[in-house]
Every structure is written in C-alpha cells, then in structure tokens.
Structure 1
C-alpha cells in the first residue's frame, strides 16, 4: 500500500500534530525529561501561536489522556460555557434569533488555556516556564506564517481595517498583508504569556502552586479584566451586519474551571475507542462503529483494501464508501436531535448494540435523501425549528452548500463569516502515557483581538440554538455542542491516540482510517494516506448550518470507477481533488511495546517526530 512517508517507530517518544513546529516542541519537551502530558501542553501552547487562524489561547481544547501507571483514561474538558447573561431572551431582545458566527455575541468562556494548565497540574512534571517557553519564543522572535493563515488574513483584511482595529494592529503589521512564509511575530501575546509566568513565579517554587497562580491570573486577574472591559465596553461588527457588545464578563471566567470527567467508549475490532460525552460530537464516531459492527463490515473492509478493489463501479470499495456514508448520515441525524449539555442525553441507548441493529436496517443500496434521527428508548426526537426550515429549503433546491473549496481548512468570507477550523496533537511517551487533543476556537478571523492580550475570544456560542427546550439550546453555564473530537483507541497494553481537524467532518474522516488500520491491515501512515471522503448531506454545526442533499465529497484517488459507481447509487458526488480531505495524525504503542506515530501529508503542514 502506498504511503507518503515512513511510519515512525521507536522506543523513547512520539509526537504527531498538524504543524511541524508544534511536533518539534512536543518532542523537545520529551527530550527534556517531560512526559506525554507535558509534551502535549507544550505543543498545544505552540499551536496557539503558529496556527492563529485555527486556534488560540482563548479558544477551546478538549483532550483525552491515558496514564499508563494506573491505566487511567480521562477527558479534560477545555470547552468554555455560555456567559451568565447569555439567555435566549437576551438575544431575542437584540433581534437576534441565530447566534452570529463572529464577534462578541458569540463569545463563551475561553477554555483552552485552563485545559492545558489543568492537564499540567494533574499529570505533568515540568515547571510551567519550560512548557510555555517555546510558545513565548515563537510569539516574540517570530515563526513562518503558513500560507493558509496568510490567505485568511488577506480575506478579512478590509473588515479588520474598517471594523476590527485591534486585529489589524496584530495581523496587518505596518498596514500591510503578511506574505505566506514570512517571519511573523505577536509581541502582545508574548507579553501576555510572560506576565502569566511572572505571576506563576511569584507563587514560589512549588510547581502546582505556580500553575494555579497562572490560572488565577488568566481567569481572575489581568486577562479576565481585559476581556471584561473589551466585551462590555466596545461594540464590534459581526456577522449580523451590525455592531454589538457581548455578554461575556470577568465573573464568567472566574466561575469556570476545566473539569476532568470519564470518557465514553465502545469496543470495536479488538480495541476500545474512547471519546468525550455528548457535549461534543465524539459519540457520533462511536455510533458509526456500532452500526458498522451491526452490518458486519469486517469482510467488506478486507475486500475493499485488496488490490483492484476500486476497479469496478460496483466493486467492494464502492460498497464500502456507500455504507460508511449512509451510516454517517444516521449518526449525524441522531447528533442533531439528541446531543447537548442538558444532562438528559440518552447516550447509553444511543450506543447500545440493540439500537445500532435497529438503525442499521435503514441502510439500503441507494443514497438516502431523508433525514432520520432515531427514537432511543422510544423517545421522540426533537429538532430545532431553524434546522427543519434549513432542511426544507435545501431539499427544495435553495441550499447554500459548502461545495468543495476550503473543506478541512478555514472557509472565510470577506465579512469574516467563518466556521473556522481546528488543530490536533497526539503524544505517546516511553512510559506508555498517551494524549489526544483537538484545540480550536479563538480564530483570528472570527473575533477581534482583545487589546493588549494578542489573542481573540472563542465564538463557539454559534453552535447553540436560540430556541428553548432542545438538548443544544442556549442557556447560561451550558457548554455548546462542539464538533471537537479527540480520541483514543486502547487495547491490552497497546493502542493509539488519534484525531483530525475539520468541524463536522472530524468523526467522518476518522472512520475509514480506523477501518483500514484495525480491519484492513494498513499501518497508521498508510491508513492516513489512503483516499478520504465524507457526507455533506450532514448538517453543518456552524452558522449558516448548510447541507447538500445526498452530497458526498470524495478525493479523486478513490478512482473514476468508484466515483461513477457512487453517483449511480444516487450520491451527489463532488470530486475534491486528490489530496484534500482530513488532517489525521496518530501516535501510540504497538502490541510489542514499540512506539509509533504518523501524520497527514495533505496541506504540507502535519508532521510526526520521534525516536
């Protein structure tokens, strides 16, 4: 099987991420004596600097960890909550019936910084200065700005100049567009990190006391004060076409802490696959695996990965892509009807083998054009009125579908209307500790830079419904139903961390990756490199929540026969080109104890390092 690069194998440690500098920082941390938790945090802080169009220290960062010494597997929730003043009535009073995708009205509590500190406090070993130092260096001394970030800045430059001067001051140095690959600095962000370290040092020599002091400085000190003053005192232009202040205040930051909670897991192909609970979309992957188990997909995967599998329109590869796509539609419909942070999600029922067997009977030979959430435990699904209306409009031919361009990377309009995108990092150390993290939010294009801090706020409130009584309804203190989806696959002494950026596609792109690796015999790198696809029939979670009826976006490397076969089955096939979909990375432990890592070649950014 073709692979773009070697599968890294060694004994000391492995780091894979969506940016080569973050991977290098993580490996540097392991070489300095840190463990996987230290390395993941160091890489995560570096990502907030070098991928500002994809995440920031004020964004969101759910992560899943596994501590080898006691086989403890856990989630740290770095997803901030809706402000105390953010009620559906408050939005309606402003004439807003859908949270805009940009600006202050979409702001929730910044969760990323707190999540990394919580990981360090509970499981790390190195001083905070050692972990945060590389990020400060890149922010102060500069780093090469990737082409996608430069393009993002260019797209929103006029809006920055006209409406967001604090962002223009950072991202249009001297008033000019930054060039792709140019050395780029963010002195204000470096200063913010340095002030946080100074607060930490003032707490004395104890490592945990230092971490807590930095947390207080962010959530109760100068960072919270700056956020409060900016959001409450400055009206900013947003996707409504008007300017608004926001609901986020310093007391919201002070009341929030990252939390540790159990994972949700199902067995599949000899491992247990672990995800967050249904405040994220992670269980969508688990539901798909349950459905595929019920459909007996094992033999089909083996046939589809054999030589010549894609040579005929009605061959096993066509059948596999069709079945996986139909399963994704069913799981995503359940997500839209049932997932959220209201405490009433029937997750046990949604993940039960009996429910999966019932839902699997809906998979037919043709592409389904319907929208069919199920009824776990006999309950009646409830969908947002706006989603039902969007569905009806799309089915009537009035969809504003995403097409192909930009999938897997930020899709930004000139007015800053953007779903943004995400980063990912996986780490395994010589002791067998593992971390999978999917930082996101705080995108440079979606929220203005907070004056003096050098970073933007998360706009994740756009994922709430401004309609009461739904699992994902807006409510003070509630987490938005995010798309962020880190993952671990754990067996008896082996397993791997994995994940990808990509919004709604995260838990679609990883399905064929898992099938090919766990059932098809491909190694991690081969499984990442293999052609990807996803359903765009699935509703987007971000404003304006579009979908393409029967849409199937596929890499052309699946082959003309397969694409033709899928079209013949009724899929609205969009050829995305040969290397466009997904940015999966993975790192883990083989059954014989050797460590492995692999990264995505698409976009020429992802990198794995290790020895």
Structure 2
C-alpha cells in the first residue's frame, strides 16, 4: 500500500519523534554509545527548545520504559495540585472552571525531575552530555517551524500588552518568528548551564540528584514560585496570582509505578493508570468485537462508538481520586455488556457504565448541558490556540529503541509558550495542567491539593509473549488514544513489511477523532455525535458514517494523527521505526 516514507529497519538503534532535530539528537546520543534512555532524555530537552508551543520544562511527562531483561514501568512526571489549590479558593474568585492559562492553572512542574530520574536510574551519560544539545540550540538558534510563528502570532497582542517577558523571547520588532528564522532562547541556555555547574558530586548519580535539588530548592524553584505569585491576565479575563509555592516545588519527586495492562489479539498493551486517560485505550480494545474487517464503514462506526463509551467512563471514573479499579473497567462481563450498547446508528449520549454495579457520577457542568453544542474543531492535534492563549492538545512525543533491547515511549507536554508568561531569568513559563480538574467536590478528578490532574498524555508500550515489541504515541490531547487506537489496530491486523511491523503504513493510514464527550481542556466543551475524518478515508466510508447518523466533518487529507513509533523483533533483534508526515516535522532515524 502507499506510504509517504519507508518503515525504517536496522539493528543498531531507532528513534521517532515529533521534530527532526530531536530525532537527530537522540540518534547522535546512540551513536556516542548512549542507550535508549540517554537518547530520550537528550531529545526531550531539545523538544523543549524547538517545540516551545507544544511543551516546556515547566510542563509534565508520563514515560513508559522497558529496560532490557526487566519489566515495563511507568515513570510519572505529572505534578499534583499545589497545597493552596483548593476548590474554595477558586470559587471564591468567582471562577466556574480553572482558567486555561495563567498561574492559577499551574500544577507542580514534573517533567524535569522525571527526565533526570530516568537518566540517573537507567541512563549511562553525565548530565552535561545530554543537555549540551539543548543548550546549543537554545543559544545558537534553531530554524523555527511554521507552527511556532502561527502560535505566537495568535497571542501576539497578549504578549505585547500583558506578557512582556514572552514578547522579549518570541517577538522581534513586534513580529512573530517567520518559518525558518533562527529562534534563540539564551536565558534557557544559561539556565541549563547553571544547572550543570551547580550539579556537583562524586558520582554521575550524585550529580544528577544535585541537579534535581537545584530544580526543587535552588534558583529555579525560587524563580518559578516568584512567577506564580505575580497576578497575570488569564482566560477568565481577569488577573490572578497562582497558588504554587517553593514548598510545593520542594515536595515533588517523580515516581515509578506498574503499568495497567490488557491482553488483546496476542498483544499485551501497557498504559499509565487512572490519573491519565491511558486506560481508555485499553477499554477501547476490550470493546472491540471479533471479526471486524479493517477500514470498512462498520469497522469505523464500531471504533468510534466504542471510543464514546470508553471516554464516557473516563469522565465518570478516572482521576487521581478514583475509587474504581482498572480490573473492574476491563472485566469481560462488563465490556460484553457495554459492547451491546453499540447500535446501528451513532449515539449522541454520554453513557458511562456501572463497574461493580455502582452508579456513575458526572460533573454537573456535563449533566446540565452547559458543555453542549460548541462547533467542532478539525485538526485539533495541531496547535489550536485562542488569542488569550487557550490551547487544545498541544503536545509532542518521542520513542527510542536501542541495540541492547531497551525501549522507551514518552509524551512531554505543558509549559507551552502560550500557557503563562516566560520567567525572564529561566527562559520558559509555567504550565496549566490544573485546567483539567473540576471545581466540584467529590469527583475522581476534582481539584484537591496534592492530587494529580487527570492528564491526556498517554504513551503506549505493547508486548508479545511477554517481550516488549512496540513503543508508540502521539500528540493531540483528547485525541491521543483515538489516533493511537487506529494506528495500533492497523499494525495488529494488517500485513507486515520486510518481516517486520508496517509502522509507516499504519501511521499514514487515514485517521479520525470524535469530540462526543467533554474536552479535558478549558472550556470543557462537547460536540455530541461528532466525528472528524481525513478526506482520504474515502467517499464510501464518509457516506457510511453519515448514513449511520454521525455528524461528519471532512477535514484536509493529512490532518488527523501525529503518531511516532519504534519496534523491536525479539527473535531477530531487528529494529523498526516510523514517523508522522502530517505537519511536515516529525521524523524517524535509525540504522
């Protein structure tokens, strides 16, 4: 079948990411005898520089790792709500929702500590060796991709009138960066240089721990806490100070945990837990009937309707305060009953289930209809940013596999250039992940100090016969586990290429998404019955979905999905990689 590029194959190392410079950086580390974890960390810090509209050091990251010969683990780089982030505090300000921008939306940043913990425990390189690439691009500049300029242009007035420190970094003579123009961030370069200088100790591990301490308790923590205390114009239209303090920063450490897994069609898929939307991917698999013919209108209808059911459960049951188990949500009897709800026509209802026989509870803003009938947003995985910085699904991704059998999948996000003003001394802003929590008590995802906001970030790892085989993921907010589902099922059901998985073919396959459930992002809208498809999906499929009652939006031919993937054949050791052609910046590399 047609593909935009070949599925890469080799035996030395494979990388896939959402930006070619990050992929090149990871490959350079592998060539320098670094392992997959060294390479992923170096690529991640480059992504902070070259995709600042999609992620930053002030954001967060979930990481799934498969060390050679070891068991897969999830590394959680999602910080919780600050101690002062209570529902009473926000509602006392007259806010019905956590704002989509500004310091009130800032959770404790988690990405930096997670990446350094990964480097300490599983990498081999000194900190200076993995940071030098990001320092170089921040100091000497990198050619700006089109979407950076488009994002900056959208919020240019906000930068000029309110967020002056951001204007100093991202505007030149009042203009956003032109495509290909060198974009520099000397403050960020100086930040990482200072971290390296202060990260002293007798061993590599001690130096990395010192760097983590510098972030949590040193000059970085001081600057972030000061920035959070500054009243800032946010999406509410008013200026608010945040709740993040130095004590919140000092108290956070990234943590390891076991993944949630589900067996399907000879595969075992591993995801992060109910503090993420990851288990929804597993529920989508559990809802699939046997015998689906790939790519038919029935196939698409079934996947879309199953997604609606899984995401309805996400709204009712997922969160860091969840009192349901994934065993209950993935139980055969439960999913058999849920599958029976998939009818011949599109559902316009939000239908959460009752695992263990308990009644679901949805936020009042969902049940009272206030999130209904917002126009559908096509191409939502690209930077969709309002003039006030309100953002949908802006994220990046990186996967690495090395010759020793290590694999890693990570989805860094948050701390976007449009989320908060740049901290002048650091070169990057705080994040806004608290916008995903509800200002209503008693919900699994209610705003509670110390609790993690239910993130949309959801990397994936798949095993066969207990051996890690496939690492993959995508940007796209609420669309991540929809686009990933379409990719994974394509990999699992279609013919292989050259004795390996057809990664590029599955990435290039026409994709879709539905917004028929509440968005995780401010202002939390929903579009019942909606589905957005790439025009390449074909007239027959579009007609079939329309006939079944779906409200179909036909988007550009290459607009849905941003997948990255790497694979390893445990029997031969052959490595593979593919990357998304949409947006003209994702790339795979390997040999």
TM-score range, shorter chain: over 0.9
In the alignment, which residue of structure 1 is the partner of 2:499? Answer: none
Mapping of residues 174-573 of structure 1, within 5 Å = 174-200=173-199, 202-204=200-202, 206-232=203-229, 234-292=230-288, 295-296=289-290, 299-301=291-293, 304=294, 317-389=296-368, 391=369, 394=372, 399-404=373-378, 406-492=379-465, 493-522=467-496, 523-573=502-552
CA offsets, 1:212-240, max 9 Å, x none?
Answer: 111111111000001111212x2110000
Q: TM-score, normalised by structure 2?
A: 0.97
Are the equivalent residues in 2 in contact too, given 1:34–1:125 (CA < 8 A)?
A: yes
Change (3 A) 1:3 1:609: same
For residues 607 and 187 of structure 1, the distance between their equivalents in structure 2, rounded to whole angstroms, comes to 26
4+ long deviations beyond 4 Å: none
Which secondary structure does the structure 2 equivalent of 1:603 belong to? coil
Q: CA deviation at 1:274?
A: 0.3
**Conserved 8 A contact 1:68-1:431:** yes
**Partners of 2:507 and 2:579 within 8 A in 1:** yes
Give per-residue Cα distances to partners, 1:432-476, cap 9 Å, x unaligned: 110000000001011111121100111000000001000000000
Question: Given that residues 64 and 74 in structure 2 are in contact (C-alpha distance below 8 angstroms), is that contact kept between their aligned partners in structure 1?
Answer: yes
Match of 2:61 in 1: 61
Residue pair 2:395, 2:476 contacting (<8 A) in 1 also: yes
Partners of 1:126 and 1:2 in 2: CA distance = 40
* Structure 1 equivalent of residue 565 of structure 2: 586
**What pairs with 1:122-201 in structure 2 (closer than 5 Å)?**
122-200=121-199
How big is each residue's C-alpha offset from its partner over 1:223-280, in whole Å with a ceiling of 9 and x where there is no partner? Answer: 0001111212x21100000001110011101000000110000011212100000100
Gaps of 5+ in 1: 306-316
TM-score, length-normalised on structure 1?
0.94
Instruction: Answer whether contact 2:408 2:471 (CA < 8 A) is retained.
Output: yes
Matched-pair contact (CA < 8 Å) for 1:269–1:519: no
SS of the counterpart of 2:583?
helix
1:308 alignment partner in structure 2: none
Unaligned runs of 5+ in 2: 497-501
1:510-561, Cα deviation, whole Å (9 max, x unpaired): 1121111112225111011010011121221101111212101001111112
Query: Which secondary structure does the structure 1 equivalent of 2:356 belong to?
Result: helix
Residue 424 of structure 1 and its aligned partner are, at CA, apart by 0.3
**Contact 1:41 / 1:116 at 8 angstroms: preserved in 2?**
yes
The whole-number CA distance in structure 2 between the counterparts of 1:46 and 1:520 is 34
- Mapped to 2, the partners of 1:243 and 1:289 lie a distance apart of 44
Say which is worse superposed, 512-521 or 578-587, in terms of deviation.
512-521
Cα displacement (A) at 1:420: 4.7
Residue 22 of structure 1 contacts residue 43 of structure 1 at CA under 8 Å; is this kept in 2?
yes
1:343, CA displacement in angstroms? 4.8
Q: Is the 8 A contact 1:53 1:420 kept in 2?
A: no
Q: Is the 8 A contact 1:60 1:78 kept in 2?
A: yes
Listed one character per residue, the Cα deviations across residues 151-183 of structure 1 (whole Å, up to 9, x for unaligned) are 000000100111111111111134332111111
Determine the C-alpha separation between the residues in 2 that align with 1:345 and 1:218: 35
Deviation at 1:403, TM superposition (A): 2.6
**RMSD, matched Cα:** 1.1
Is contact 1:101–1:419 with CA below 8 Å preserved after alignment?
Answer: no
